[in-house]
């Protein structure tokens, strides 16, 4: 036997007659033929008979988890600036990690995976894998496998692998390995073998060629056009996430104590944006604020609830136990907040006039927010109304935020300002009338 720079001279640890011997020797032969040096190669293995070979390689070796070696190898290959990554896995490992193989092919990680398909999981006592053909007998399925197999090469090829081949694990197949190792991107070679200890004993006289043929597994090579190879490039000049324009104080707020404001509406109703603008407007008014949102998994339907806390002091605890102010503009929002409203013995409820008033100890204000501003801007109009009637902080602070929030913001702000003025006038008129009657 010719000594290889890639292998230690000790005998390999496989069972007599096992094709793994051939795979290992011809891997070393192919790498030598390519002019590679041992430390230019990383061999990645996982759990299985193939995985006990890495101590015999003079390359870098990484011994990982069952079925995961192709994903681990992918990370190594993409992280390396140069060098060749070779991954070994069994047919059991390929069954476990089929997703990883598909991803390797799709994203074109620069590595070669050798699937040593000996038709069963050897280290578990011999159960069939997803690659084992129907009818093949194993110690744990002596009646023969009943379920169908899949064609790994076709799956990986259809996922976009640059090079896929299936080889018969007999004779000298180093040419095929040289070809696979030479591919710049992802390549996979399935080597068809039969486990000598568990496979041949239960399927006497079986030959790999006939086995593959009967299972409809062709030997051959399948290629896809070359595509960009995934190696990481580090861009250390990415823009800072903190380069945003600071919010500068422009107004003064009257608020002295912490205020918990709950906004309830429907998905798509602009509740979250309104809450964020309110929180920003509070900062512009010299206050501290927090904002958080709650909505169902569907996001685009059902309720949309937001919590805003504003305070003159820095806010640590961001929760609202009992809200001071609740703004509700839709039935979804009302359904979500109804229970909470019933517990309020004080505070303020600002609710759209179209909704049925829930029992609550809060002071109630009803106005036609939706009718005037539409569903999308009803919450903003209600918040402007809240600021105007309570003087918590200047209405202009929120109007300014609305104006600058988006391209059409100025128009929205100006419309809302007019609507607010109409609401306020009507309210003043109503109070005057009430006063007259009294």
Partner 1 sequence: MVLTDGSRLIIESLARAGADVFVGYPITPANLLYRYAIMRFPAALSAPDEITTMQWLCGFSATGLLPVTATSFPGFALMLESINMAYMMELPVVVVLAQRLGPATGSATAGADGDLLLLRGTISGGHPLPVICINSLEDCWTVPPLALATAASLRTPVVLLTTKEIVMTQCSFDLKKLPEVQPISRPGCPDVEHYEPYAPGADLVPHFLPVGNTLHQVRLNASTHNQQGIIQHLSAPGLENTARLEKKMYANLSRYTRYSLDEETGADTLIVAWGNAALAAREAVKLLRSKGKKVSLLLPNTLLPVPPEYLDIISRYPRVVVAEENLSGHFRTVLFGVQGRDGVVGVNSLGKMIAPEEIVDRVMENGRVAFFIS
Listed ranges 131-139, 177-185, 277-285, 419-427: which one lies at the site for partner 1 (CB under 8 A): 277-285
**Cα end-to-end span (Å), the chain:** 114
232 makes contact with partner 1 (CB under 8 A): yes
CA distances from 419 to 313, 348, 368, 382, 390 (A): 33, 21, 10, 10, 17
With CB under 8 A as the contact rule, the residue among 143, 242, 359, 407 that binds partner 1 is 242
Q: Segment 384-413, which members bind partner 1 (CB under 8 A)?
A: none
Nearer to partner 1, 43 or 211 (CB): 43
Q: Is the distance from CB of 378 to CB of 370 less than 8 angstroms?
A: yes
Least Å distance between CB 313 and partner 1?
9
Q: How far is the CB of 365 from partner 1 (least distance, A)?
A: 27
Residue 165 CA, distance from chain mean position:
32
Is the CB of 65 or the CB of 200 nearer to partner 1?
65
Give the closest residue to 325 by CA, choosing from 261, 408, 370: 261
Which residues sit opposite 60 in a β-bridge? 42
Q: Give whichever of 47 and 153 is closer to partner 1, judged by the CB atom.
A: 47
Distance CA 89, CA 20 (A): 11
**Which is nearer to partner 1, 272 or 330 (by Cβ)?**
272
Q: State the nearest-atom distance from the C-beta of 197 to partner 1, in Å.
A: 20
Per the listing, tokens 């090469």 go with 153
- 3-class secondary structure, 42: strand
Q: Does 356 bind partner 1 (CB under 8 A)?
A: no
CA 396 – CA 375 distance, rounded (Å)? 22
Q: How far apart are CA 379 and CA 327, in angstroms?
A: 7
The nearest distance, CB 403 to partner 1, in angstroms, is 17
Which backbone phi and psi does 406 adopt, to 5 degrees? -150, 180
Q: Over the range 136-162, which residues count as b (16 or more CB within 10 Å of their CB) and which as e?
A: bbbbebeeebeeebebbbebbbebbbb
- ∠ Cα 139 142 148 (to 5°): 105
Positions 87 through 106 that interact with partner 1 (CB under 8 A): 99-100, 103
Q: Which of residues 285-344 bind partner 1 (CB under 8 A)?
A: 287-292, 294-295, 297, 315-319, 321
The correct pick among 3, 35, 240, 339 for binding partner 1 (CB under 8 A) is 240
Q: Is residue 248 a contact residue for partner 1 (CB under 8 A)?
A: yes
Tell me: does residue 36 bind partner 1 (CB under 8 A). no
Report the residue number, 146 or 297, with the smaller CB distance to partner 1: 297
By the rule CB under 8 A, 155 interacts with partner 1: no
Say whether residue 279 binds partner 1 (CB under 8 A): yes
Q: Which is nearer to partner 1, 59 or 377 (CB)?
A: 59
- 38, 139, 144, 368: which one contacts partner 1 (CB under 8 A)? 38
Under the criterion CB under 8 A, does residue 207 sit at the interface with partner 1? no
Contact 235, 294 (CB under 8 A): no
Nearest-angstrom CA–CA distance, 182 and 86: 11
Relative to beta strand 288-294, strand 348-352 is unpaired
Beta 112-117 vs 84-90: how paired, if at all? parallel
The separation between CA 286 and the C-alpha centre of its own chain, rounded to angstroms, equals 38
String marking each residue 52-81 x if it binds partner 1 according to CB under 8 A:
x-xx--xxxxxxxx--x--xxxxxxxxxxx
The contact set with partner 1 (CB under 8 A) reads 37-40, 42, 52, 54-55, 58-65, 68, 71-83, 99-100, 103, 232-236, 238-242, 244, 246-249, 276, 279-280, 282-283, 287-292, 294-295, 297, 315-319, 321
């Amino acid at each position: 036997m010719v000594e290889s720079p890639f292998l230690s001279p000790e005998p390999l640890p496989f069972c007599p007659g096992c094709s793994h011997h051939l795979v290992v020797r011809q891997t070393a032969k192919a790498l030598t033929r390519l002019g590679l040096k041992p430390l230019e190669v990383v061999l990645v293995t996982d759990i299985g008979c193939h995985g006990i070979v890495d101590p015999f390689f003079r390359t870098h070796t990484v011994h990982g988890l069952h079925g995961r070696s192709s994903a681990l190898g992918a990370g190594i290959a993409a992280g390396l600036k140069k060098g060749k990554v070779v991954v070994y896995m069994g047919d059991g490992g390929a069954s476990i990690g089929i997703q990883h193989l598909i991803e390797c092919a799709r994203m074109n990680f620069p590595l070669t995976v050798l699937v040593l398909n000996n038709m069963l999981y050897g280290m578990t006592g011999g159960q069939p894998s997803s690659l084992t053909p129907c009818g093949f007998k194993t110690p744990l399925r002596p009646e023969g496998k009943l379920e169908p197999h899949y064609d790994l090469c076709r799956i990986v090829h259809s996922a976009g692998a640059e090079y896929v081949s299936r080889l018969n694990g007999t004779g000298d197949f180093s040419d095929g390995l040289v070809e696979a190792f030479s591919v710049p991107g992802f390549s996979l070679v399935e080597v068809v073998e039969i486990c000598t200890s568990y496979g041949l004993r239960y399927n006497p006289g079986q030959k790999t060629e006939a086995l593959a043929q009967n299972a409809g597994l062709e030997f051959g090579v399948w290629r896809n056009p070359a595509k960009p190879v995934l190696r990481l490039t580090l861009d250390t000049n990415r823009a800072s996430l903190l380069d945003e324009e600071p919010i500068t104080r422009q107004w003064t707020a009257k608020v002295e104590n912490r205020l918990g404001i709950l906004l309830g509406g429907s998905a798509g109703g602009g509740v979250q944006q309104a809450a964020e603008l309110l929180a920003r407007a509070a900062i512009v008014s010299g206050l501290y604020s927090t904002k958080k949102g709650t909505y169902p998994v569907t996001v685009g339907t059902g309720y949309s609830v937001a919590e805003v806390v504003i305070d003159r002091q820095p806010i640590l605890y961001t929760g609202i136990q009992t809200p001071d102010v609740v703004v509700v503009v839709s039935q979804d929002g009302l359904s979500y907040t109804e229970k909470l409203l019933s517990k309020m013995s004080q505070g303020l409820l600002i609710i759209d006039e179209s909704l049925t008033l829930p029992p609550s100890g809060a002071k109630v204000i009803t106005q036609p927010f939706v009718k005037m501003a539409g569903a999308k801007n009803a919450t903003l109009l209600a918040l402007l109304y809240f600021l105007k009637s309570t003087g918590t902080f200047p209405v202009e602070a929120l109007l300014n935020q609305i104006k600058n929030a988006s391209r059409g913001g100025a128009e929205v702000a100006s419309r809302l300002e007019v609507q607010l003025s109409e609401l306020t006038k009507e309210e003043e008129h109503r109070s005057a009338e009430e006063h007259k009657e009294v």
